[in-house]
Amino acid sequence: MASIAAVPRTAPDRNCPLCPRLADFRKATRKREPDWYNSPVDSFGDASAQLLIVGLAPGMQGANRTGRPFTGDYAGDLLYATLLEYGFAKGVYQARPDDGLRLVDCRISNAVRCVPPQNKPLPAEINQCRQFLTATIAAMPRVRAIVALGRISHDTLLKVFSLRAVATPFAHGAVHQAGELKIYDSYHCSRYNTNTGVLTPKMFRDVFAQVRADLA
C-alpha cells in the first residue's frame, strides 16, 4: 500500500534558503524586477479539494511574476481554459491573480516552488522541495486525483508515495494507483510542448475529462 509521511509545513518561507542556487537566482531577480513576486509560490485553491494538479515550477514571467501558479504565461492559458471547461474553475481567467477566478474542488501546486534558471530545476532542488509537496498532499483530506504535469512532476510524486518507477512509468494519459488515489499523467502544458505538437489541447482535455468522469 502506498503511503506518505506527513510533515508539518505546506509552504516554505519567503526567503527559503534550502536550494542555494535558486535562492541566489531569486535574489538577482528581485534586484532586476523589484515589482515582481519573486518568492516561493504557494498552492492555489482550497485544501479540501479532491483534485490536485502538480506542475513543474513557477515560470519566470508567469507565477514568479504574479505569485499565482500558472498565471501570466502561456501554460496558464491552456490550463485554466481546460479547468473552466470541465467545471474545475469558475469565473474568467485574465492572467492576473486579482482576476477573480476561483478553483472548484481543485488545487494547483508545483514540484518546485521557486523559479529555476531556464525552467530546469536540478535533481537536488526537486528532492529538497518535495517536503512541501508531501506536506501539501498530506494536508488535503479529500484528495482523490492528482494530475502530474510532465515527467518531473510524475517522478517526484512517485517518491512522495514510495511507488516504484519501473512499475509506474510516465506516459501521457496513463493512470497510476497510489493507495486510495490516482495519479493521472499528462505532458506539461508548456508553450514548447503545444507549439511542437507534443501536446494538443484535445490530448490535454482528455486527461481532465477522465478525471471528471472518475470523480463523478
Segment interacting with ligand SF4, rule: CB under 6 A, options 1-9, 121-129, 135-143, 154-162: 121-129
Alpha helices, DSSP H, located in 34-172: 63-66, 74-85, 123-138, 151-160
**Closest approach of ligand SF4 to the CB of residue 23, in Å:** 6
128 binds ligand SF4 (CB under 6 A): yes
Nearest partner of 20 among 156, 148, 125, judged by Cα: 125
Q: Provide the mask over 151-190, with x wherever binding to ligand SF4 is found by CB under 6 A and - wherever it is not.
A: ----------------------------------------
Segment interacting with ligand SF4, rule: CB under 6 A, options 82-90, 122-130, 146-154, 198-206: 122-130
Q: Provide the mask over 79-118, with x wherever binding to ligand SF4 is found by CB under 6 A and - wherever it is not.
A: ---------------------------------xxx----
DSSP 119: G
Cell triple for residue 9?
Answer: 509545513
Q: Amino acid letter at 74?
A: Y
Q: What are phi and psi of 185, to 5 degrees?
A: -85, 140
Q: Residue 40 or residue 59: which is nearer to ligand SF4 going by CB?
A: 40
Number of H helices, E strands in the chain: 7, 8
Specify burial of residue 209 (Cβ count, 10 A radius: 0-12, 13-18, 19+): middle
Name the residues that contact ligand SF4, by CB under 6 A.
12, 16, 18-19, 22-23, 40, 112-114, 125, 128-129
